[in-house]
Structure 1
Amino acid sequence: MTSKTSPESPLPIRTVLQMVGGWIGKLGTVWVEGQITDLSARGGTVFLTLRDPVANVSARVTAPRGVYEATVPRPADGARVVVHVKPDFWVNRGSFAFTALEIRPVGVGELLARLERLRQLLAAEGLFNADRKRRLPFLPGTVGLICGRDSAAERDVLENARRRWPAVRFKVEEVAVQGPYAVGEVTEALAKLDADGDVEVIVVARGGGSLEDLLPFSDETLVRSVAACRTPVVSAIGHEQDSPLLDLVADVRASTPTDAAKKVVPDVGEQLSLVRQLRDRGRRVVSGWLDREMSWLTSTRSRPSLADPVRELERRAEQVDALRERTRRSLTSSLDRAGDDLTHVRGRLVALSPAATLERGYAIVQRPSGEVVRRAKDVAPGALLTLRLPDDRLTVRTEPAEYEPTEIAPAEKPAEDKSSKPRKSRKKPESPETS
């Protein structure tokens, strides 16, 4: 229809508004959720504004007094409600509003069920895993603080942190911490502090409140923004029993804003005491080590090898002399025993030698060819024989004679020297025969 309009043939405003009203009327009735603000009643009609819990969006709603009073409990400003509405467009004024057909308050049980479903969804994505949480810096130079305007949480964090470490610096972002604007302002402040290179840790602080007051800190948009921060985030929302989803995704959870100040900065008194303890401990360790080394050095210096080094050399010289004398005695004894053995063997050889037999008056009878004559009957009369004596030889001629066999007594064995130990001979020497 708009294609048929032109500057020469425009549509009347009433026609356009009627068309808008017709389009809106096609929407029909819908259920919507929001937070009530600007609640007022005039006559038989109740007027209120329904704000989106996350975005900065609102719409006017009119409800007959009977519909409003039929709601149990009766809703007030700030209450979360679900409203069955019918969109209306007034052509005469060109205004838009919803007409409430039924109002249902959102109970605590339903809110908790929604939060539990959101918690399970975010946990499945790994946003609450402990391995993705970062450690806080030991002594941050600048701390970012997100809190309400002139709130007690801001004073608790600043005063306790400066009492613990007076040199700490803060960058404070004051935002709405409840209501429809809380999520947007907190998310914007978080992004601003995260982009600041001087800020080393961010604290999100708020005092206690009801479940509805703390709902912005369980919003999915804010939780995902905290998970995406590069700067460590400390959550200090409500009291110990309060547990919004921001506590689960933050790197560190503090039970109260005062506890957050204790976790962010160290106590200068405690650190000085720790330094003194470590210094004393180091002094004791070094002193003990020096005492042990001095004791070892004194013990080493008192040893004879260092107290009188020449005495050790003399002792070693005495050992060398004793070993030399022992070696000399051992060698002399070995030579004496070998000499005695040699003398005994020599005596035995002399005693068993044919020359010794000849010295006792015997002679060896040989033929001119050198053959030894052993029996007289083997010699012919007139034969030349050689008599071998101890010192020389004698040639004789035999005469005929009658043969008479003679028994020769075996030669006496020389007496053995009992003082020596001659080696035993396996073969007994034979006595020489004489003619």
Structure 2
Amino acid sequence: MRSVAVKVAQWIDRLGSIWVEGQITQINLRPGTRTAFLVLRDTSADMSLSVTCDPGLIRSSPIPLHEGSRVVVFGKLSFYTGRGTLSLRALEIRPVGVGELLARIERLKALLAAEGLFDTRLKRPVPFLPSTVGLITGRASAAERDVCTVAENRWPAVRFKIHNTAVQGPTAVAQIVRAIADLDADPDVDVVVLARGGGSVEDLLPFSDEALCRAIVAATTPIVSAIGHEPDSPLCDLVADVRAATPTDAAKRLVPDAAAESAGVRELRERSAAALRGWVQRETHALNQLRSRPVLADPLRELGHRHDEVARLRASAQRCVEQFVRTEAIATRHLREKLTAVGPAATMARGYAVVQRVNGTERQVVRSIEDAPTGSQLRVRVADGALDAAVLGAKALGRSKRPATDKTDDTDAGRN
């Protein structure tokens, strides 16, 4: 038994490396272990093969590997004599079929994202009511029928320019790119719709082509992508200006609903009329309040109040002025009486006189007998007039002499 097992192991070890395609039915990847275990099953026959590999091969796969994934494994067969089992030591694992397509699409998606083609700032706005819609779809397809029917039901005046192209297969990309260029060059087309019904990953592969994605970005006309159904997400959905879940959704996004818009207009008109009526009522109420105020109800009332106040102020001012005048008149009279009492006229009225010596045109008040020698001409001023006299003689009274002055002021008083 042992010899047979050893010889079988030696014979298998001499075999070279091989490629094996199959479907993963079991994955055993435990944390901390250096070996991962897989089971490959032949989809066309009830046969399976054990596979061992480094855990890094599974973790570094371009697409996640799980049970049910189809892969191609490159490795070398080995026979374990202890258990008598045959296994394949995998050196490389590649996804095939849908997995390979998805991996290729993911690599292209990363490239386009790095170039910024998915940036929302590059998205062009779709016009609110396009006059002409360019439609790229398959001939007599359900997508064409859905877009046209829904759009015409929503807005009967909408017009279409339809380009029927292949939507799957090797010629689809070239025809779709040419149709986009033709519609983009047409000045009557306001928006372009790229529509297709649902399908498998292989059927939708043309809509993830790099050339088509770059043509959509280069177009100046807004492009709406309506490919497949909601779960489908080809790359053209990411580079298009608007992504619609279905062709029917694209038609709803393109044109407004005429009935809904009419209802909206009616509602806005009613709201505007109500708002205008409310504004008029508020302003009318405000005007009535202003008119009911006393100052506007009887504008002359304040003038009458002010007239009475002005009259009172004038009477008060007049009384103040009259009182001031009376007070000043009394003060003036008192001052005049004081001046009269101490003035020369009052002094002369009491028997005094002013004696002046006349020397030609000059007059000098006589203050001493020495100022008027014998023979001098005198002018004697009394209370009721003046007398002309002459000095006949002089007699001293024995009192001290007063110094003479040269003043000729008629107001100086002296005793005769």
* 1:274-295 C-alpha deviation (Å, 9 max, x unpaired): 2122112211221122223333
Structure-to-structure mapping, 1:3-82, within 5 angstroms:
72=22
Please tell me whether the aligned partners of residues 235 and 252 of structure 1 are also in contact (alpha carbons under 8 angstroms).
Answer: yes
- Whether 1:216 and 2:206 are equivalent positions in the alignment is yes
Please tell me whether the aligned partners of residues 138 and 166 of structure 2 are also in contact (alpha carbons under 8 angstroms).
Answer: yes
In 2 relative to 1, CA 381–231 (structure 1 residues): closer, same or farther, beyond 3 Å?
Answer: closer
Query: In 1, Cα distance between the equivalents of 2:181 and 2:121?
Result: 23
Q: Indicate the residue corresponding to 1:238 in structure 2.
A: 228
Query: In 1, Cα distance between the equivalents of 2:193 and 2:123?
Result: 15
What amino acid is the match of 2:367? R
* 1:139-176 C-alpha deviation (Å, 9 max, x unpaired): 22332222234444334333433443344333333332
Which secondary structure state, in structure 1, belongs to the residue aligned with residue 190 of structure 2?
Answer: strand
Q: Indicate the residue corresponding to 2:243 in structure 1.
A: 253
In 2 relative to 1, CA 373–110 (structure 1 residues): closer, same or farther, beyond 3 Å?
Answer: same
Query: In 2, Cα distance between the equivalents of 1:211 and 1:121?
Result: 20
Query: In 1, Cα distance between the equivalents of 2:197 and 2:312?
Result: 97
What amino acid is the match of 1:387? V
- Whether 1:391 and 2:402 are equivalent positions in the alignment is no
Deviation at 1:404, TM superposition (A): 4.0
Q: Indicate the residue corresponding to 1:111 in structure 2.
A: 101
Query: In 1, Cα distance between the equivalents of 2:317 and 2:164?
Result: 103
Deviation at 1:402, TM superposition (A): 5.0
Please tell me whether the aligned partners of residues 373 and 391 of structure 2 are also in contact (alpha carbons under 8 angstroms).
Answer: no
What amino acid is the match of 1:253? R
Query: In 1, Cα distance between the equivalents of 2:394 and 2:214?
Result: 155
What amino acid is the match of 1:229? A
Which secondary structure state, in structure 2, belongs to the residue aligned with residue 387 of structure 1?
Answer: strand
Q: Indicate the residue corresponding to 1:417 in structure 2.
A: none
Moved more, 339-348 or 175-184: 339-348
Number of residue-to-residue matches in the alignment? 319
Query: In 1, Cα distance between the equivalents of 2:152 and 2:267?
Result: 24
What amino acid is the match of 2:340? V
- Whether 1:434 and 2:415 are equivalent positions in the alignment is yes
* 1:381-412 C-alpha deviation (Å, 9 max, x unpaired): 67654432122233253545451439xxxxxx
Which secondary structure state, in structure 2, belongs to the residue aligned with residue 203 of structure 1?
Answer: strand
Which secondary structure state, in structure 2, belongs to the residue aligned with residue 371 of structure 1?
Answer: strand
Q: Indicate the residue corresponding to 2:127 in structure 1.
A: 137
Q: Percent identity?
A: 53
In 2 relative to 1, CA 372–214 (structure 1 residues): closer, same or farther, beyond 3 Å?
Answer: same
Query: In 2, Cα distance between the equivalents of 1:336 and 1:116?
Result: 115
Query: In 1, Cα distance between the equivalents of 2:152 and 2:386?
Result: 140
What amino acid is the match of 2:365? V
* 1:156-211 C-alpha deviation (Å, 9 max, x unpaired): 33343344334433333333222212212222332333344443222112233333
Where structure 2 has 5 or more consecutive residues not aligned to the other structure, the ranges are 1-18, 24-41, 45-70, 73-93, 401-410
* 1:317-352 C-alpha deviation (Å, 9 max, x unpaired): 667766766666566556555555554444444333
Q: Indicate the residue corresponding to 1:45 in structure 2.
A: none
Please tell me whether the aligned partners of residues 366 and 373 of structure 1 are also in contact (alpha carbons under 8 angstroms).
Answer: yes
Structure-to-structure mapping, 1:343-362, within 5 angstroms:
343-362=333-352
Deviation at 1:231, TM superposition (A): 2.2
Query: In 2, Cα distance between the equivalents of 1:402 and 1:155?
Result: 160
Query: In 1, Cα distance between the equivalents of 2:348 and 2:293?
Result: 77
Query: In 1, Cα distance between the equivalents of 2:251 and 2:200?
Result: 23
Q: Pairwise CA RMSD of aligned residues?
A: 3.9
